[in-house]
Structure 1
């Protein structure tokens, strides 16, 4: 009967009306909060502040001091015969007893819409605006609000789609953040035969600084640009380790809930709190608008680091809707440390690294100082319909085993349909994978592309057939002459899958597929898969000479007898198409005696294969430890280090654009048949910063044990990161042991730290490889260790360039060669060395910069054997 009555009363044509309020009628100052520096009261006054208690006949004042105006006074602007107002004066019998009366002021009345209806708000100042909707199906004698089914739109954004609130035991509060200019509309669209309702509405300006344009993408790890193009729905706002923070204690009238319902795995955790008055805000970054000081004044951290199990993280699990990307904002404030730079910890989002070795002190330069970081998690990285936020200690001798989190916000980002609920747009069209329109477009595009490709292919085949060489039928490869892939001015395209969608808030490459394009000019020979199968006996396991993150490395032999190293990418490899493309692009630009040469590549049948010159003696590490290969002499080791240093020096300074290798280690220094060292594996390489840059901000990648700690903490890459890794290599060469050995005592686990400690104590001789310890000249060792120690300086600015490192190594080699040719007299005292070191801008010493070695009671003439060696010294 109720439904029939509704249809009988509203059998008129489609109707829409607008409730227009003057902004001055609703302006009201928001509550005070702690300021950025002085912690004194600060007020944010929104230029637009519409607070409406829908269906009410009078104002409603909340405890936080805000006043919601009644929309009853604006009925003169409406066609009142077209709407029904539902007002409930008494809540004692109409509201579930499970709801606290203090929560009810805005839920006592409602306005019911029986056809499409629109609120329109004039916006005085464009920018971010809060849109908050209050919904509760109160009991009404004529309308059962639990049966209402309706949608809510804001312009082209779908806020709610076909919502039905059947549970009258809890209140529904929806909060959005939308960028608006001109005017903002809220359209309530009932489902056919149903109706819509709303209890209260807020449309309030938010500070522009609340959402910046840049965040950190988690999967893949990197920078995300485009937040300003998105709209957001607040899913969670948690005060971690603290109580509820109500709107009266937040500058922007937000409510922060305790994290108790979401901290699923916090064994060994402890709550910490301080007075909100001591919380400071930095010059830039976090402000009271980002979060009030009371959020930063409480935290959860590790209770007893000594009993903390390895690899156990403090975890918060938050249920979310799958298929959406999310903005995750984490709030940090070091309220547990006593001194600076003593707290380092890792942050994980859905088990993926968000930040490694986060050091709040280096970011804020003070304790008790607010800091926040934004992450974007793509929808396909969400598993089990939930987001895991984890923090865990970073294992370091200089840091305490602790981790901390103060606040957590999760915000849903609108999808390709501009919706927060499903894939239907405002006009009702469907943007999902089964969209007929989308299918037709794809079919048309594919058909057209295939037709064009077929015509071009036939044309090329005809031309090549006319120019086919004599004896072509005797050749092994049909494609070698028919298809113009081997010509230097040709190109090819391979595609395993189409690229993923690109939404208005950013785009990225599919992790399940790739699409690459290379011009073969400069990239070396393009091998067919057939040629490489022949070269490796169909990739026989017996031909495997190495295994890495990219895949296996095979020894192959071409028809002319040339030996080659074939690196074949595997599905699910740690690396992928990005590294494949980087390796080709980098090596195609580089030619140096001490860099492994790229001969060519293969990109057929979804394969990713790189072909290099064969390095007969393999990785340097195999000649240091872990194998039965003969030990290298000290002179050989010096020459190998010099060769590797020359290769890195060329990367940093000799290439057209400087290149940072980013994965310097002994397995990436290969030796040819003459033990000439060549740097290899450029899959992680990055272009060096330009003259107007100090660093490259990028995700941390490399090999554990060799990573620059400053790069690890700040994610700021420079050439000095390679220098640090090379310093680790130098000690690895000297001591012939792994750079990380977990089975050793804690102080000896890291070779770099242990070697530095031994050097300071004067006991370095005890850890030198015993195969060479007795043969090293003291002067040579001193110069070598001096260079290695400088490489391992804590801060990049204190490390030398690769040119200076090369100078130290060549100097050490000269001293070693000199000592092996002339032995000092028995009564001679300690050797005295005098030299003039070339400037950092020179390429080596000039003829006047002569290195002279003098012993007491011994004179050397320019024609002596020693001097003849020294004068041929080649600087960097």
Structure 2
């Protein structure tokens, strides 16, 4: 710890007397060896520590003593179990691959107990409440038992902790930590799968302090609060991080928790900087009058370190520190964030925002106003609903608040991500303790309930329709009665006329802030009156009816702006309806930009904006529906069938055409600024269209080379030159598109912090293998055998040039498009050559069967070299008419 928490030398060495030197050394030794637990002791009422399979008690270096099986035999009801010991070689090998396991815990993995039938540990609980349940697993190599094949379920009273669990690798330590409400007789049951067995190395069942758990937390995306958390659910700790600091073992924590360094999960290492102070400077106070915050919440070592922004003045407010985590889909998560302002020099000078999965969790958080002092511990609990967990990942971000004053910085000291049990009472599946299925579609409705639901739905729909008609009637344009039909004002409104009448004097203050000085004295938005908007202005009632009042079942995506719903109009037209987060002021600029940009743009490879709604403080954008969703879903992270190489080329070409049009086809060039595979959408015919123009910027005029602007974009796709210089050009889109090309080729995420450091960035990893001439090693195996070599060479040439370090050396999107079209034609030509070869072979066989020489009547002979052709063949004819664009 000495190098991580450096201390200032008060006395110079040459001034120390022979008496004072030992004294000073003793003080320093005490200062560094006293764990944070000494600051706040806790004596658990229940403290069961069992070293399973051990014939004697095991004392750990962190001070805990685990009892032997002999001492705890009365707790176990099992008629058939076996004790096994692991050899030291396998333990050492596993330790080398499991750096996150504290060294003090290693002795617990040396022995284990095996169960061939259902077995139960029963614990007497002297004080009801939340308890830690910690389980240790290590599949030791053994002559009789293949522990990597063991499959079993573990339950704790009414909760399923593990369902059909197995450890597939001999060199893997597995440590599971849970919070479970326990009372009276608490049972831990191990149930082997049929023809299998169960095993366990060590068990902890320990009381948790009341101050550790809160029974409520803030709901992400809504302004509500989740109550009854620890009374109604069980929890599993997925991640517990000491952000900005080293790994902390149980010896540094009063409750013997392990805190892992955040380095493996930091998605933007270049933008973050570790900072630390002496743990002694950390203070604990009342947490806003709600809970007594002590080292039991987190040790002072956690609050004494943090990650802050590397260069916040350059990055501007919307550039965020980011951490990414892989989690299980279908579960909600409790996210506890620890803060301690160890970077500010004065109170009320640090304001920052907190985001979870790109949704605002806290806006303009001011720690000093909550704690009343600097260097004072504080934490906040959030619940992320399962519906907002996408692609089996959680992203936590902190970034500067968009304020005119204050320190432009953001910090995070510690982070815990904890899984919440589902409706089945399970933390690992969809079945209850008694084996009942409680997964999707399990709640069957009775006929009466179905009739009632249908009747209610029809009534609500009729009410919405009537409401929409009334709203339209009240807002009917002047002289509507002179028009030819009643539907002339009920049907979609068009152009400046409709917009002007729509923006009524009842516009909200939010709308005022959106259009600012453009609002005219007449009470409507002069913005749309002055720049014609070719689209439909939807009423809120229309969109509520189309989405069944924004039913969660209609959600087809979630982004930083808000959720995207599938809507169906009365005529059956499907729409993608993007609804801004109503609890946040974020996204107003993006809302305006999207309307500005897409109102001017029409192209086959750009997603069309159908209309919008800005009613009752809502910000809603309506697009054409893209049936096959984002390109990324067809590359990885879903069960969709893989795309062929030709399909991927065609999709990349479509996206390139859309970007080329943006850069050169509009009246003034447009820079997209967020090119990525989730913003390339596919229609029902797999035609690619570029989407999401919320971050787009007008390209520089002829007398300028760039646009100076705050850095925005997505990690992994961000142009490094743009990041360094904050100078945006069309070549920033070209760089991002180069990453997309490698993503399409390799079918892996662009940033994967779980991989070794050199593999984290796809762009760097792909270029590494390409320079070595061995790119085939990382190509998606689904397409590797079907790619023509010349087609791949041309494709890689385009991708490599896109990722050139300096923008001036990168090609234009037009040049990239030409290379991709050439690559596609090479692929198609190779395919035709194979088809022609096969056809000729079949013809020859037919002539042989008719007694005709196979060489007679043929214009040419099939050669062994598939690249050789002769003039007059259909293949040569095809290749002789390449089209550049």
SS at match of 2:492: coil
SS at match of 2:539: strand
Distance change in 2, residues 1:662/1:248 (3 Å):
closer
Aligned partner of 2:498 among 521, 526, 543? 543
SS at match of 2:395: strand
Task: Tell whether 2:419 aligns with 1:412.
Answer: yes
CA distance in 1, matches of 2:89, 2:229: 45
**Preserved contact between residue 75 and residue 121 of structure 2 (Cα < 8 Å):** no
Q: What does the per-residue CA deviation read over 1:333-376, in whole Å, with 9 as the maximum and x for residues that have no partner?
A: 00011111111111110111111111001111100000001111
Q: Give the corresponding residue for 1:84.
A: 81
**Preserved contact between residue 32 and residue 251 of structure 1 (Cα < 8 Å):** no
CA distance in 2, matches of 1:402, 1:683: 30
- Gaps of at least 5 residues in structure 2 are 1-32, 477-485, 516-522, 526-536, 552-567, 573-582, 589-613, 619-706, 711-885
Instruction: After TM superposition, list the pairs within 5 Å mapping 1:54-453 onto structure 2.
Output: 54-75=52-73, 82-88=79-85, 90-92=87-89, 96=93, 98=96, 103-228=105-230, 229-284=232-287, 285=291, 286-309=293-316, 311-435=318-442, 438-439=443-444, 441=445, 443=447, 445-447=449-451
RMSD over aligned Cα atoms: 4.3
CA distance in 2, matches of 1:295, 1:215: 21
Q: CA deviation at 1:289?
A: 1.0
**TM-score normalized by structure 2?**
0.50
Q: What does the per-residue CA deviation read over 1:216-248, in whole Å, with 9 as the maximum and x for residues that have no partner?
A: 111234322232222110000000000111101
**Preserved contact between residue 569 and residue 576 of structure 1 (Cα < 8 Å):** no
CA distance in 2, matches of 1:363, 1:578: 37
CA distance in 2, matches of 1:356, 1:78: 51
Q: What does the per-residue CA deviation read over 1:285-322, in whole Å, with 9 as the maximum and x for residues that have no partner?
A: 43211100110000000122222255221100011011
- Gaps of at least 5 residues in structure 1 are 1-30, 455-490, 497-515, 556-565, 581-602, 608-659, 666-679, 685-742, 747-876
CA distance in 2, matches of 1:257, 1:543: 58
Q: Give the corresponding residue for 2:864.
A: none
SS at match of 1:362: helix
Q: CA deviation at 1:210?
A: 1.3
**Preserved contact between residue 234 and residue 412 of structure 1 (Cα < 8 Å):** yes
Q: CA deviation at 1:527?
A: 6.8
CA distance in 2, matches of 1:408, 1:78: 36
Q: CA deviation at 1:48?
A: 0.3
**Preserved contact between residue 90 and residue 171 of structure 2 (Cα < 8 Å):** no
**Preserved contact between residue 149 and residue 191 of structure 1 (Cα < 8 Å):** yes
Instruction: After TM superposition, list the pairs within 5 Å mapping 1:45-60 onto structure 2.
Output: 45-60=43-58
**Preserved contact between residue 106 and residue 200 of structure 1 (Cα < 8 Å):** yes
Q: What does the per-residue CA deviation read over 1:718-777, in whole Å, with 9 as the maximum and x for residues that have no partner?
A: xxxxxxxxxxxxxxxxxxxxxxxxx9999xxxxxxxxxxxxxxxxxxxxxxxxxxxxxxx
Distance change in 2, residues 1:529/1:123 (3 Å):
farther
Q: What does the per-residue CA deviation read over 1:472-528, in whole Å, with 9 as the maximum and x for residues that have no partner?
A: xxxxxxxxxxxxxxxxxxx994169xxxxxxxxxxxxxxxxxxx999x9xx999679
Q: What does the per-residue CA deviation read over 1:399-447, in whole Å, with 9 as the maximum and x for residues that have no partner?
A: 1110000001000000111111111111112112243xx33x2555214
SS at match of 1:357: strand
CA distance in 1, matches of 2:284, 2:571: 52
CA distance in 1, matches of 2:431, 2:333: 19
Q: CA deviation at 1:529?
A: 9.2
Count the aligned residue pairs: 492
CA distance in 1, matches of 2:175, 2:352: 35
SS at match of 2:313: helix
Q: What does the per-residue CA deviation read over 1:763-808, in whole Å, with 9 as the maximum and x for residues that have no partner?
A: xxxxxxxxxxxxxxxxxxxxxxxxxxxxxxxxxxxxxxxxxxxxxx
**TM-score normalized by structure 1?**
0.51
SS at match of 1:267: helix
Q: What does the per-residue CA deviation read over 1:820-851, in whole Å, with 9 as the maximum and x for residues that have no partner?
A: xxxxxxxxxxxxxxxxxxxxxxxxxxxxxxxx
**Preserved contact between residue 468 and residue 539 of structure 2 (Cα < 8 Å):** no
Distance change in 2, residues 1:554/1:308 (3 Å):
closer
Distance change in 2, residues 1:434/1:122 (3 Å):
same
CA distance in 1, matches of 2:116, 2:433: 19
